[in-house]
Amino acid sequence: MPDLSRRDFLKLTTRLLLGASGLIGLGMFARFLGHPLETPAPVEVDLGQVDDFPPGSRTPLPQVPALLVRTEAGFTALSLRCTHLGCTLDAQDEGFACPCHGSLFDEEGRVLRGPAAQALVRLPVTISESGRVILTLEP
Amino acid sequence: MTRRLVLIAALLLLLAAALAWWLERRALQPDPLTPTLTGEVEYCLTCHADLPQISASHPVETFGCVLCHGGERLALDADLAHSSLRGGDNPSDLAVVEASCGGGDCHGGDPAAQRDHIQRVMTSIQVNYTGAVTSLRFTFGAQPDLTPVLGTFASVDASLPSQTGILSLGLFDPAAETHPMLQAFGQNCLTCHINAQPAEGEAYQRYTGCAACHTPAALEDVPLGEGEDGRNPGGVHRLTTAIPYTQCNTCHNRGNYDLRSMTFVERQDEAVTRLEDYYQPIAQFTLCEYTLDCVDCHTRVEAMGDGDIHAVKSDIQYVRCSTCHGTPDELPLSMTLGDADDLAIHLAFLNPVVDLQVGDTILVTSEGEPLWNTRLLPDGGYELVGKATRQVFRFEPVMGSACTQEGSDQSSAYCHTCHAVKR
């Protein structure tokens, strides 16, 4: 181990301290600038491979919430947010019911009973080049 | 010298970084929620996750907290988060209700869409108390006739055309009155309309605004009067249309007004049973008047108003014995539900004590309001299900019975002559 004079030791310590504090300061500044106030809502949702949804399937997507339907003609998705105030709908034997204010919708999303006045929203579904089912949340 | 200063600054920065790291480790980790209606993240559930859902019609995932309560949605410090709450612990107080319950056009919108609740309440006699104010001001010479001009809540009838012709009410200010009896009335007798602060004492405790009726403290297990402001600790987080008579009794049946001294005289009897509690000793009442809850017969329009300003209570209180029982010559008014969108079915959904279906026949008031908790039975009798108790009551029409009443006389005293309960 080379001899280190007292002066060199103090110089090295000073530089180490300055370097560490500079790096920490830069890190804190970068973190401050990069801190997201709100996590932006995803616009698209990757639902998986096409083969995961066989023809004739009706797959609830509680995280959206929506219902993904695959027919011989392709994919469609029905938003399960009530068009009255946005409550999440419950699936029933023949359609959907709003637990908040009682609106009823048929399997195609048409209003059977208010207070909702508009049919359920259909969400666009596309197939990516790699064969994955992509749901777009904004119609 | 300069180098030493730089070194000290570096050390201070390191210390500050260590302190920031330590504080962040101790800080609350936010529990974010993005309600459907606002689409804006809020951190309220970080501290309030244990609060019960306020009602099935107001799920927190849809409404969040801020839409109704206000507050700083991204604050994790309690004082900062609560610094801009609307109405303190009660966003339904009429001073802020249009911004809270009326937000998003929920309860402050189109009458045709049944969303005009706030406008109706603001003009209702339960809020403005104009019948008593007008009568007393006329009696003591403060106004020339019985035309309502002042109430305990200033309001404007926006639901034109007005059916009563009373377009607005100014605010009754007891301090501006010259007659001492009117001043005493203002001082002693104005604790029982919806937005007034209740009198002291457990029997009177209720919130103001919508919560005066729709947040029945009596349903809670927490004893009243233990909170900082004399109410439940932390407030009662509940809204319901299943309102028990005890909530109505925080104003009604609590005593009498002494018009000689213009004071409120609290009832002195110590009620133990419901029969004793329901009406004060001097009153007469029938079996159904104390076995049912007030809301089982009295309708939402009677309680919350119809959007017009009325001069006296009798103008808006129209449910009579005959509403349910008919008269010797007529059966009570009824209607058969022909549409899933009928108002009766919507009301029954909000308080599902009955499973109303299209095709059911229910009773209606003389104003056409559905008594959705009643039903015509196949044998010609009727049943009523208690909105707060779910008890099922069967009752019969007067027509075909031994009753010899004069059907046109529906006064309380007349029916009580035969049907008053003996105590």
- The answer on pLDDT for B229 being more than 70 is no
Residue B389 has pLDDT above 80, yes or no: yes
Residue B352: what residue type?
P
What pairs with residue B370 in β-bridges? B364
Q: Give B40's contacts in chain A (Cβ within 8 Å).
A: 38
Name the closest residue on chain A to residue B18, using Cα atoms. A24
For residue B214, which of B249, B251, B244, B254 has the smallest C-alpha distance?
A: B244
Residues of B with CB under 8 A from a CB of A: 3, 6-7, 9-11, 13-14, 17, 20, 32, 34, 36-37, 39-41, 56-59, 61-63, 74, 104, 106, 113-114, 340-341, 345-346, 349-350
Cα dihedral: B196, B198, B204, B210 (round 10):
40
CA-nearest residue to A37 within chain B is B74
Which of B336, B299, B332, B126 has its CA nearest to residue B212? B126
Q: Helical H runs in B82-144? A: 117-122, 125-128, 130-139
Contact of A24 with chain B, judged by CB distance below 8 Å, is answered with: yes
Mutation for B interface: A21, A32, A83, most B CBs within 10 A: A21
Rounded Cα distance, B152 and B150, in Å: 7
Q: Considering only B153-162, B230-239, B317-326, which range has the smallest mean pLDDT?
A: B230-239
Query: Please, what sign has the CA dihedral across residues B407, B408, B412, B414?
Result: negative
* CA atoms of B42 and B60, how far apart (whole Å): 11
Pair B190, B126: CB distance under 8 Å:
no
Residue A97, chain B, CB below 8 Å: the answer is no
Is there a contact between A43 and A91 (Cβ–Cβ < 8 Å)? no
Structure token pair of residue B199 = 């009198």
Determine the Cα–Cα distance for residues B274 and B422; give it in Å rounded to an integer.
14
H helices present in B194-236, as ranges: 211-214
* Residue A121 contacts B, CB cutoff 8 Å: no
Q: Testing the interface with B: which of A85, A104, A111, A138 to mutate, by most B Cβ within 10 A?
A: A85
Q: What is the pTM of this model?
A: 0.82
- Spell out which residues of chain A touch residue B56, defining contact as CB-CB under 8 Å: 99-100
Which mean pLDDT values do the consecutive 10-residue runs of chain A (139 residues) have? 80 86 84 69 82 88 88 89 91 90 92 92 90 82
Count Cβ neighbours within 10 Å for each residue of A67-89 and write b for 16 or more, e otherwise.
bbbbeeeebbbbbbbbbbbbbbb
Q: Which is nearest to B43 in space by CA: B69, B74, B68?
A: B74
pLDDT at position B67 is 93
Give yes or no for a contact between B135 and B141, defined as CB atoms under 8 angstroms apart.
Answer: no
**Both structure tokens of B184:** 């005493």
Confidence of residue B233 (pLDDT cuts 50, 70, 90): very low
Q: Give the neighbor-by-neighbor strand order of the sheet with B361-364.
A: B334-336, B361-364, B370-371
Express each pLDDT in B127-177 by its tens digit.
999 999 999 999 999 999 999 999 999 988 877 777 888 899 999 999 999
Contacts of A38 in chain B (CB under 8 A): 40-41
Q: How far apart are CA B146 and CA B32, in angstroms?
A: 56
Of the partner residues A17, A24, A115, the one whose CB lies closest to the CB of residue B7: A17
Q: Which residues of chain B make contact with A39, given a CB cutoff of 8 A?
A: 32, 41
Q: Do B7 and A114 touch (CB under 8 A)?
A: no
